[in-house]
Amino acid sequence: MVVFIHTDWCQFCQRMKATTFKDPEIIEKLNSDFYFIDFNAEERRDITFANHTFKYRPSGNNVGVHELALQLGTINNQIAYPTLCVLNEKNEIIFQYNIYLGTKDFKTLLENLEK
Single pTM value for the model: 0.93
In whole angstroms, what is the distance from residue 19 CA to residue 77 CA? 29
> In a 3-state reduction of DSSP, which class is residue 5?
strand
Q: Specify the pLDDT at position 59.
A: 87
85 CB neighbour count, 10 Å cutoff: 23
Q: Specify the pLDDT at position 110.
A: 92
In DSSP terms, 2 is beta-bridged to 36, 86
- Strand ranges in 32-73 using DSSP code E only, listed in sequence order: 36-40, 47-49, 52-54, 56-60, 63-66
Closest C-alpha among 110, 114, 85 to residue 98: 85
Paired sense of beta strands 78-79 and 74-75, if any: antiparallel
Q: How confident is the model at residue 60 (pLDDT cuts 50, 70, 90)?
A: confident
Contact 11, 82 (CB under 8 A): no
Q: Specify the pLDDT at position 61.
A: 84
In whole angstroms, what is the distance from residue 17 CA to residue 113 CA? 20
Is the per-residue pLDDT at 62 higher than 90? no
Q: How confident is the model at residue 80 (pLDDT cuts 50, 70, 90)?
A: very high
